[in-house]
Structure formats: C-alpha cells, structure tokens
Homo-oligomer: A and B are copies of this chain.
Amino acid sequence: MSFSPLLKQLIEAFRVLPGVGPKSAQRMAFYLLERDREGGQRLAHLLTQAIKQVGQCEHCRILCEKPVCAICDNKNRDRSLLCVVQGPAHVAAIEQTGGYPGLYFVLQGHLSPIDGRGPKEIGIDAFVRRISTNTVKEVVLATNSTVEGEATAYYIADLVKSHNIKVTRIAHGVPMGGELEYIDGGTLAKALLDRTLV
C-alpha cells in the first residue's frame, strides 16, 4: 500500500472501533485529516480525557466520571426498584422512555461461559451486595431478549428469589405499531401466552 507510515498506523488504530473495517477506517482517517482536523483534535482530546477520568458509578456500575452517577444521586428516584440491564446504552434507552422511576444495575454484558464470562465477570457479586442492603423491594430484569440475555435473566431471577425479593421481567410481545403479519412466530406465541386483561 502507498500510505505513509503514520497514516497506516492511524488507519489501523481506527479499526479498534466496533463495526469499522479497513475501508471505513481509511475513510475516517482521510476525512478527519482532509476535512475536519479541528473535530479530530477534539475527538482525540475527549477520548484521552474520558479514558483517564471515566470509571463506574459505585452503586449501579454505569460509566461515569464521578464516584456516584446522576441517577443514583437523584433523591427523587424510587430506591426500592432496581432494573438490571446489560450495558450503559440500555440505561439510556430506558431513560429515554421517561417511564421508569427506579434505579439501575448495569451488568458487564451477558453470561457467556464459552467466552469465559461467568457471574463474576459480568458483575454479579456487586449485584448481590447491592440487593443485600434491604432497600430493594423489586428487581426488574431488562436484559436483551436474546438467548444469552434470557439465560442471564434466568440466572439472576433465581438469585434474587433466594434473597426473598420480588423479581419481574419486562414484557415481551408485539412491538407497538407492529403489524401482525410481519411479527415472527416466537414473538406472536409469547404475545398470545402473555395476553393481558383489558
């Protein structure tokens, strides 16, 4: 290839980003160097800062540069309700609905024994400490509806029950606005099974 050594290294470095292959990495490097050096400089600066400063909230384990995040620090939130999610992006998704009054616990992904990700790796020990404080009255499981997410939910449900705490799972069914003919059979079967009284 005909790129200068520094350019080659920069393109290679962009490939650490998720979903970025050789062509996208090249495009990103060229774009920043040709069109937006200021934006690139800002990105490099904020990335360095965030890597240095951003840690995990000591209560919910969300990414945060302060010891305790804004949600856990908010005195108006319902401390008896604890929602378990697989990652910080899921907290953002739920917060955007504006309909959840409680707190969160953020797992480091899902259980995946085959990749060496057991309960300890995803942060179950911290979760157990959290629910042992007697403030939590209900745990809402909001892990993904994938096989791995469901398995993780089952595992946590058992754990929570053994602490005599109520445990619920977010509802599965037809998405709002969804047309029945385009919904997969598994979802439709689940929607029929979990039908609610009107």
Write the residues of chain A forming the contact surface with B, with a CB cutoff of 8 angstroms: 1-7, 9-10, 13-14, 16-19, 24, 26-34, 36-37, 39-51, 53-54, 62-66, 69-71, 87-89, 91-92, 95-96, 108
- Tell me how far the C-beta of A45 lies from the nearest C-beta in chain B, rounded to whole angstroms: 8
Contact A47 B43 (CB under 8 A): yes
Contact A46 B95 (CB under 8 A): no
11 pairs of residues in contact across A and B, judged by CB atoms under 8 Å: A1-B96, A3-B92, A4-B69, A6-B54, A16-B40, A16-B43, A18-B31, A32-B47, A33-B51, A41-B47, A47-B47
Q: Ordered nearest first, which 8 A-B pairs have the shortest CB separation?
A: A16-B39, A2-B95, A44-B47, A13-B43, A44-B44, A44-B48, A4-B64, A13-B46
Contact pick for A10, options B10, B28, B40, B46, CB 8 Å: B46
Identify whether the interface residues of A are mostly helix, strand, loop, or mixed: helix
Contact B19 A54 (CB under 8 A): no
CA distance A43 to B46 in the complex (A): 12
